Chains A and B, each alone.
Chain A
Amino acid sequence: MLTSIMKILARKESLSMAQLAHEVGCSVRELENALEQMEHMGYIRNEQFGQSCSSSCSTDRGSSQCVGCGFASSETYTFWVLTERGETLVGSNPK
């Protein structure tokens, strides 16, 4: 399962959790468990991609909107990416 995930990530194509779970042949929850384990081992990492104008900008508590310019969206994206160690692992296969 973990090796399959790494091989799919090595294809350099972005997937949603459901799509990856379907390809690996497991449930999304099983996939989450596996991804957390791989993160723990240092092969992938979880990243949050949020938006703010600057460090001095604050967020409105009610709406979670940036109160700086008001145009920045509060949408935060969460995704898993290979770490350098993970890249090295998928880039080299045993003979």
Chain B
Amino acid sequence: MKIALVGNPNVGKSTVFNALTGSNQQVGNWAGKTVERKSGLIQRANQEIELIDLPGTYSLTAYSQEEIITREYILREKPDVVMAMVDASNIERNLYLVLQILELSPRVVIGLNMLDLAQTAGITIRTSELAAALNVPVVEIVAAKGKGIEEFLTEAIRVGELEQDLSPVEVSYPKELEQKIQAMEDLLAKTKWATRYPMRWLALKRLERDPEIGQEWKISTSQSRKSKSKDSCCDPGDVVNYELLETVVLPGDDLLQTYEAEGWSKDHFEMAFADAKYKYISHILPRFRTHENPAKPTWTDLLDRWVLSPIWGYPIMFAVLAVVFWGSFVASAPIGDAVSQGMAWTADVLVGLLRWGHVPDFVQSLVRDGIFAGVGAVLAFVPQIAIFFAFFSFMQDSGYLARAAFLGDRFMQLMGLHGKSFFSLVSGFGCNVPGIMATRTLEDPKDRLITMLINPLIPCVPRLGVMSAVVAAFFPGSRGSVVMLSLLFLSMILVMFSALFLRRVVKQTERSAFVMELPLYHIPTMRNVLIPTWHKTYSFLKRAWTFILVASIVVWVLSSYPQGVPMNETWAGDMGGWLSFIGRPLGFDWRIMVAIVFGFTAKETTLSTLGILYGVAADASQSIAQAMTGAMTPLRAFTFLVVYMLYIPCLASVVTTYKESGSLGWTSFGVAYNLILSFVMGWIVFHGGMLLGFQ
């Protein structure tokens, strides 16, 4: 007797196979395949049984080696019985394969495994009713504990010895499909293939245009079973080799063409058959399965009803962001002040020491007006930035960030952005460079280009850091979070506007939908919040001590020479003078224009440049906030923030855009677009504010 053991992967098949065959196994590969072939001999009641452990598979289509091997074995070798193992804890998934096996072989016995796991999950399976639903025997087993395995085999032997085949259940397809299946069966019934394959299965596969149907094979070699070596547990080698003789086109081509003309492609048939099987499983499932509280909503489900709601989701998102920004500004204010005073005190002490050591004046000036004014201006806002990073990590670890991204995508669909484009934009909130690089996952080059061009409009973390520093200086307390939210809102509006505009410039293909797997909510761990916060803050500090230090020295040189002249007549002043024609319509003085130019290299240098040019350390009692607020009105500061947020993020992002797009033209277009957009928006904000009566 020949018995085939089949089932989904990880259903416990190997455990049953090993328990039944012991050491009497042969292990090799299936002919011409890399899939392992295991068979074993069993002696029961003077009868020799060959048990074949077929590869674990979820279905019997022709998409993988495992599937082809399993079904070809059942079709060609025609085992006397098929032992189908089913995972009781995920029975709906396993029954799909069972229904396909029942189409191939009428002699099937089901081994219902993992009942203990199912019971733990609150699932009860009524075995007799499952057997009645499928009209095949079902045996309960717990393979891991060796329970029921012998009974499973005994039942299989009994079924194998039956004189008549069983009549397992037949999936009924919709009426239109049944007519088509019948028409194909009528055509195939007159051929030799009807004697080789189960008729209904053959008709289904013909309608699906299954490539394996119609192949003529012959057994080319039959190796004698080698005795196992003393060092091996198992016998090696293939037992049977097949050789493809020819591929014959089966009858029914005209019929298939007729169906094709009606819109029934091979894919439509395949999907319709699979769908009918799933519907059938859903239909019979309640007869034999009871799931205690299956629909009991989890905390995640309950929260998601509100958080992902098209109506409430957006107000909740804005409320969360408001809390994040409020926390960043209000909670950090005392620490920021302390750091600022500490920096001023350190600068005083250090310059005092330099003076005491008769160090030349220009070195004292470099330390005080260059390094401490520049790097110190950035460092004063590190607590604020660290708290912002901590909130960001908290949102990420709690599972909310993924939901915010999901909501953002739905919002942006209106603008014709591709779903995946939005995730590149979300990356841009961290850093625009990975955001631009993330566009690689977009298949359509036009989608990629548009996403690349709008990514710089998303304020990255360093930009958010500088923005929050300026906001904290001009709009202290709760007003700061409102201003930050309004800036982010403006950024989103411009992303959408730009997407619409660029869709006209770069013709885009139709967008597609997606289904997103969202993580479960959970309370973030300290480790998952603090370590990322430290990494981000450290990166920020590292840049402050390296890149920003160099930039601060350069700016100090430019703002100190020629010596003995007012600052607006230094080289930096001259540079600002040349750019004043751009800054004047926006209410910017020359110092802001110089800071914007230095911001091209890295955004944080804007803050250090402002620190130096506003002479923060010249008077140790004055912080950058005080220095800036004394020289700018809130309206000008807000205009500066708008321009700062929208113009090119940094040199690295421009280089990345060039590398990723491979086009100097589109890179130049992107730079020009950002510059023009930022200054136009700045002009609108400044003059709009003036009209509204702001100073």
Name the prevailing secondary structure of the B interface residues: helix
A14-B410, A47-B441, A67-B535 are known contacts. Are A37 and B265 too (CB-CB below 8 A)? no
Please determine whether B518 and A16 come into contact, CB atoms closer than 8 angstroms: yes
Residue of A whose beta carbon sits closest to that of B427: A51
Bound complex: CA of A60 vs CA of B531, how far in Å?
Answer: 10
Q: How far is the CB of B171 from chain A (nearest CB, A)?
A: 14
Among B233-276, those with CB < 8 Å from A are 262-265, 267-268, 270-272, 274-275
Residue of A whose beta carbon sits closest to that of B420: A49
Among A32-68, those with CB < 8 Å from B are 33-37, 40-43, 47, 49, 51-54, 60, 62-63, 65-67
Bound complex: CA of A37 vs CA of B419, how far in Å?
Answer: 23
Please determine whether B515 and A20 come into contact, CB atoms closer than 8 angstroms: yes
With an 8 Å Cβ cutoff, the count of chain A residues facing the other chain is 62
Bound complex: CA of A40 vs CA of B515, how far in Å?
Answer: 16
With an 8 Å Cβ cutoff, the count of chain B residues facing the other chain is 73
Please determine whether B275 and A2 come into contact, CB atoms closer than 8 angstroms: yes
Q: How far is the CB of B167 from chain A (nearest CB, A)?
A: 26
Other-chain contact of A53, B59, B92, B282, B433 (Cβ < 8 Å): B433
Q: How far is the CB of B209 from chain A (nearest CB, A)?
A: 14
0 or 1 for each of B455-466: is its CB under 8 Å from A? (1 = yes): 000001110000
A14-B409, A14-B516, A92-B265 are known contacts. Are A65 and B59 too (CB-CB below 8 A)? no
Residue of A whose beta carbon sits closest to that of B423: A49
Contacts of B270 in A (CB 8 A): 41
Other-chain contact of A51, B64, B430, B511, B513 (Cβ < 8 Å): B430
Please determine whether A81 and B512 come into contact, CB atoms closer than 8 angstroms: yes
Residue of B whose beta carbon sits closest to that of A21: B515
Please determine whether B93 and A33 come into contact, CB atoms closer than 8 angstroms: yes
Q: Is B304 in contact with chain A by the CB < 8 A criterion?
A: yes
Contacts of A33 in B (CB 8 A): 90, 92-93, 96
Please determine whether B263 and A93 come into contact, CB atoms closer than 8 angstroms: yes
Q: Is B536 in contact with chain A by the CB < 8 A criterion?
A: yes
Contacts of B272 in A (CB 8 A): 3
Please determine whether A65 and B271 come into contact, CB atoms closer than 8 angstroms: no
Please determine whether A12 and B511 come into contact, CB atoms closer than 8 angstroms: yes
Other-chain contact of B419, A26, A53, A71, A81 (Cβ < 8 Å): A81
A6-B271, A66-B434, A72-B434 are known contacts. Are A60 and B396 too (CB-CB below 8 A)? no
Bound complex: CA of A27 vs CA of B282, how far in Å?
Answer: 11
Please determine whether A49 and B441 come into contact, CB atoms closer than 8 angstroms: yes
Q: Is B431 in contact with chain A by the CB < 8 A criterion?
A: yes
Please determine whether A1 and B514 come into contact, CB atoms closer than 8 angstroms: no
Q: Is B210 in contact with chain A by the CB < 8 A criterion?
A: no
Among B412-435, those with CB < 8 Å from A are 413, 419-420, 423, 426-427, 429-431, 433-435
Residue of B whose beta carbon sits closest to that of A2: B275
Among B294-326, those with CB < 8 Å from A are 294-295, 301, 304, 308
Bound complex: CA of A17 vs CA of B513, how far in Å?
Answer: 13
Q: How far is the CB of B474 from chain A (nearest CB, A)?
A: 25
Residue of B whose beta carbon sits closest to that of A15: B515
Bound complex: CA of A35 vs CA of B58, how far in Å?
Answer: 12
Q: How far is the CB of A58 from chain B (nearest CB, A)?
A: 12
Contacts of A54 in B (CB 8 A): 437
Other-chain contact of A71, B405, B461, B518 (Cβ < 8 Å): B461
Please determine whether A63 and B438 come into contact, CB atoms closer than 8 angstroms: no
Other-chain contact of B294, A27, A37, A62 (Cβ < 8 Å): A27
Please determine whether A79 and B517 come into contact, CB atoms closer than 8 angstroms: yes
A66-B434, A75-B396 are known contacts. Are A95 and B263 too (CB-CB below 8 A)? yes
Please determine whether A65 and B535 come into contact, CB atoms closer than 8 angstroms: yes
Q: Is B356 in contact with chain A by the CB < 8 A criterion?
A: no
A13-B410, A53-B433 are known contacts. Are A70 and B539 too (CB-CB below 8 A)? yes
Please determine whether B514 and A92 come into contact, CB atoms closer than 8 angstroms: no
Please determine whether B263 and A3 come into contact, CB atoms closer than 8 angstroms: no
Contacts of B513 in A (CB 8 A): 9-15, 81-82
Please determine whether A73 and B396 come into contact, CB atoms closer than 8 angstroms: yes
Q: How far is the CB of A41 from chain B (nearest CB, A)?
A: 7
Other-chain contact of A70, B304, B405, B429, B536 (Cβ < 8 Å): B536
Bound complex: CA of A72 vs CA of B434, how far in Å?
Answer: 7
Contacts of A13 in B (CB 8 A): 410, 413, 513
Contacts of A53 in B (CB 8 A): 431, 433-434, 437
Bound complex: CA of A19 vs CA of B346, how far in Å?
Answer: 57
Other-chain contact of A88, B64, B267, B435, B515 (Cβ < 8 Å): B267
0 or 1 for each of B493-530: is its CB under 8 Å from A? (1 = yes): 00000000000000000111111111000000001100
Please determine whether A77 and B516 come into contact, CB atoms closer than 8 angstroms: yes
Please determine whether A79 and B514 come into contact, CB atoms closer than 8 angstroms: yes
Residue of B whose beta carbon sits closest to that of A62: B531
Bound complex: CA of A37 vs CA of B542, how far in Å?
Answer: 49
Bound complex: CA of A19 vs CA of B472, how far in Å?
Answer: 40
Please determine whether B304 and A75 come into contact, CB atoms closer than 8 angstroms: no
Q: Is B401 in contact with chain A by the CB < 8 A criterion?
A: yes
Please determine whether B63 and A70 come into contact, CB atoms closer than 8 angstroms: no
Q: Is B173 in contact with chain A by the CB < 8 A criterion?
A: no
Bound complex: CA of A53 vs CA of B528, how far in Å?
Answer: 21
Other-chain contact of B431, A15, A41, A72 (Cβ < 8 Å): A72
Q: Is B73 in contact with chain A by the CB < 8 A criterion?
A: no
0 or 1 for each of B426-455: is its CB under 8 Å from A? (1 = yes): 110111011101100100000000000000
Bound complex: CA of A49 vs CA of B364, how far in Å?
Answer: 51
Contacts of A63 in B (CB 8 A): 527-528, 531-532, 535
Bound complex: CA of A17 vs CA of B437, how far in Å?
Answer: 27
Please determine whether B427 and A73 come into contact, CB atoms closer than 8 angstroms: yes
Please determine whether A12 and B515 come into contact, CB atoms closer than 8 angstroms: no
Other-chain contact of A16, B295, B406, B423, B511 (Cβ < 8 Å): B406
Among B193-244, those with CB < 8 Å from A are none
Contacts of A27 in B (CB 8 A): 294-295
Other-chain contact of B430, A2, A16, A72 (Cβ < 8 Å): A72
Q: Is B492 in contact with chain A by the CB < 8 A criterion?
A: no
Contacts of A36 in B (CB 8 A): 58
Q: How far is the CB of A71 from chain B (nearest CB, A)?
A: 4
Residue of B whose beta carbon sits closest to that of A94: B263
Q: Is B488 in contact with chain A by the CB < 8 A criterion?
A: no
Q: How far is the CB of A45 from chain B (nearest CB, A)?
A: 10
Q: How far is the CB of A21 from chain B (nearest CB, A)?
A: 10
Contacts of B657 in A (CB 8 A): none
Contacts of B308 in A (CB 8 A): 16, 19
Please determine whether A80 and B514 come into contact, CB atoms closer than 8 angstroms: yes
Residue of A whose beta carbon sits closest to that of B297: A18
Contacts of B438 in A (CB 8 A): 49, 51
- 12 of the cross-chain contacts (CB-CB < 8 Å) are A2-B275, A3-B271, A13-B513, A14-B515, A27-B294, A27-B295, A40-B58, A51-B430, A69-B431, A73-B392, A73-B401, A79-B515
Pairs of residues from A and B, 8 with the lowest C-beta to C-beta distance, nearest first: A70-B539, A94-B263, A63-B531, A71-B431, A33-B93, A79-B516, A78-B517, A1-B278
Given contacts A1-B279, A12-B513, A73-B396, 15 further A-B contacts (CB under 8 A): A2-B271, A14-B413, A16-B304, A37-B96, A41-B270, A43-B267, A47-B441, A51-B434, A62-B531, A65-B532, A69-B431, A71-B539, A73-B401, A74-B532, A79-B516
